[in-house]
Structure 1
Amino acid sequence: MLLSEIARQVGGHLEGPDLEIQRLAAPDRAGPGELAVVREARYLEVALASGAALILDETSPCPDTISRIRVSAVHQAWPRVLALFDERETWAGVGVHPSATIEAGAQVDPTASVGAYVLVCRGARVAAGAVIAPYCYVGEGVEVGPRTVLEPRVTLYRNTWLGADCKIGAGSVLGVAGFGFQNGERLPHTGRVVLEDGVELGANCVVQRSVVGETRIGARSKIGDLTDIGHNVQIGKGVVMVGSSAIGGSSVVEDDVLMGGWVVLSDHVRIGKGARLTGGSGISKDVPPGETWAGGIPAQPLRKHWRRLAVLDWLATAERSLRQFLKEQLQK
């Protein structure tokens, strides 16, 4: 791809020779024939020495001998640059692969793509433009919304409902019976899982169906790999959960919450709208809207966490002073 075409696509202007670009590379590993995007000033020096073509802001210095694309805001151009070099996975062609099984009573839109060895059970519906990668299981009564993508080996238990433009990572399981027991016997889970439009789950996530009603994830929420969502959980819109996290049953996460990696919520807690939970936090209490909690297990409001650390530092200093005082007294 020529630099001039890249410049046109990202809304920038080319300075220097119009070179052919083979691939995108990190500034500290780029070389001739590659393109590096300088998103931070600390990478400018190494990028200039790399021999690669560059994408820079309007003010960063650059010798005339280096081909560069100038853009008004590098962070805004960054997603467009990535899209130009993104090699999308082709899970399946339009239509149904000969090895796939579509049971009687299932409905698959002619524009959907169903890959090898997929099973779509009776009563399931696959909407226009949906993509179901090889080895997926789509259970009875499941609905897969328009343009939703299931990566390989996704399992959708009965009556799971996925809205439009969802993306479900490889190996994820939605609608499995939750971890609910009474008198040593697992409770029947009569509900379902609902994902609203634009939800993304990473690889190997588990979303348990509800005992009664729905386990629901709100529109545009993004959930990382290896995350477990318990039964009857309600997640709001625009929630971001970094991977390897877990939410206990019947908890509520309101809109626009941000959660770092390795966060664990106890059952029946409520995380208020816009709250922030730092990585590694264990939450056993309700978190008010807008607050930031940190500090591991148990997590605390951020200011309380910092005060606790400050007191620990003071105690360590006081201990050293006391030891020195006692040592001096013993020497007298």
Structure 2
Amino acid sequence: MTVTIHPTAIVDEGAQIGEGSRVWHWTHICGGARIGKGCSFGQNVFVGNDVVIGDNVKIQNNVSVYDAVRLGDDVFCGPSMVFTNVYNPRSAINRKAEYRQTVVGKGVSLGANCTIVCGNTIGDHAFVGAGAVVNTDVPAYALMLGVPAKRKGWMCRCGTQLKGSGTITCECGARFEITATECKPL
């Protein structure tokens, strides 16, 4: 298996890209990026130098993954979603030394046009809805919607919303213990 790179893409020397990954039209991957196996980068994606991306990550069109972003395995980044890395940017003030790290856990889905404000951690298998603005840490399995994003429920690893509390069995067979503040797999 090899890495597929479209002729219009720019992959800077030094970038590490895992086997089976695909880099499509007009994408730019900087030389310091570390990317896992089986990833897909849609049209017009930018990946910065200080970026770590796990295995089987899907980044859709028009997404910029800036320095200080860490994506776990099996993350889905929907079209035109946004990561930031400076909390209070100003054009006339260089704040590169103030980048805040953003950590996205395993199996997270980030919906189209959502924004992830820097310095936050998104827990494993969380689901951020389209257009939501995340400005705080997100617990594992949380369903986050709105501006600013609020937890509106819980999601299974398979992408099905979990209903109720106590011991819940998803339609895929996965079991969870759900309380008012957390969702734990059993």
The answer to whether the superposition gives a TM-score over 0.5 is yes
TM-score scaled by length of structure 2? 0.73
Partner of 1:48: none
Report which structure shows greater RCO (CA 8 Å, sep ≥6): 2
Partner of 1:190: 99
Partner of 2:4: 95
Q: Please, which of 111, 114, 126 is the counterpart of residue 221 of structure 1?
A: 126
SS of the aligned residue for 2:121 comes to strand
Alignment partner of 1:205 is 2:110: no
SS of the aligned residue for 1:194 comes to strand
SS of the aligned residue for 2:107 comes to coil
Is the radius of gyration larger for structure 1 or structure 2?
1
Q: How many residues align?
A: 154
Q: Please, which of 166, 177, 180 is the counterpart of residue 290 of structure 1?
A: 180
Partner of 2:168: none
How do 1:73-84 residues align onto structure 2 when only pairs under 5 Å count? none
8 Å contact 2:85–2:100 — kept in the other structure?
no
Q: Say which structure is richer in strand.
A: 2
Partner of 1:305: none
How do 1:130-141 residues align onto structure 2 when only pairs under 5 Å count? 130-141=39-50
8 Å contact 1:179–1:186 — kept in the other structure?
no
Cα offsets for 1:89-113 (capped at 9, x unmatched): xxxx951111111111111123101
Partner of 1:19: none
For structure 2, which runs of at least 5 residues remain unmatched after alignment?
A: 155-164, 166-178, 182-186
Range 103-112 or range 215-224, more displaced: 103-112
Cα offsets for 1:212-233 (capped at 9, x unmatched): xxx1000000010111122xx2
How do 1:217-296 residues align onto structure 2 when only pairs under 5 Å count? 217-230=122-135, 233-242=136-145, 244-247=146-149, 257-258=151-152, 290=180
Partners of 1:169 and 1:186 lie apart in 2 by 29
Partner of 2:175: none
SS of the aligned residue for 1:235 comes to coil
For structure 1, which runs of at least 5 residues remain unmatched after alignment?
A: 1-92, 248-252, 261-273, 275-288, 292-332
8 Å contact 1:151–1:168 — kept in the other structure?
yes
Q: Percent identity?
A: 23
Name the amino acid aligned to 2:141: G
Q: Say which structure is richer in helix.
A: 1
Structure 1 position 147, deviation (Å): 0.6
Structure 1 position 166, deviation (Å): 0.6
Cα offsets for 1:127-147 (capped at 9, x unmatched): 100111010000112112111
Structure 1 position 205, deviation (Å): 1.3
TM-score scaled by length of structure 1? 0.42
Give runs of ≥4 in structure 1 deviating > 6 Å.
185-188
Structure 1 position 179, deviation (Å): 4.0
How do 1:102-141 residues align onto structure 2 when only pairs under 5 Å count? 102-141=11-50
Distance 1:95-1:240 versus aligned 2 partners, 3 A rule: same
8 Å contact 1:175–1:192 — kept in the other structure?
no
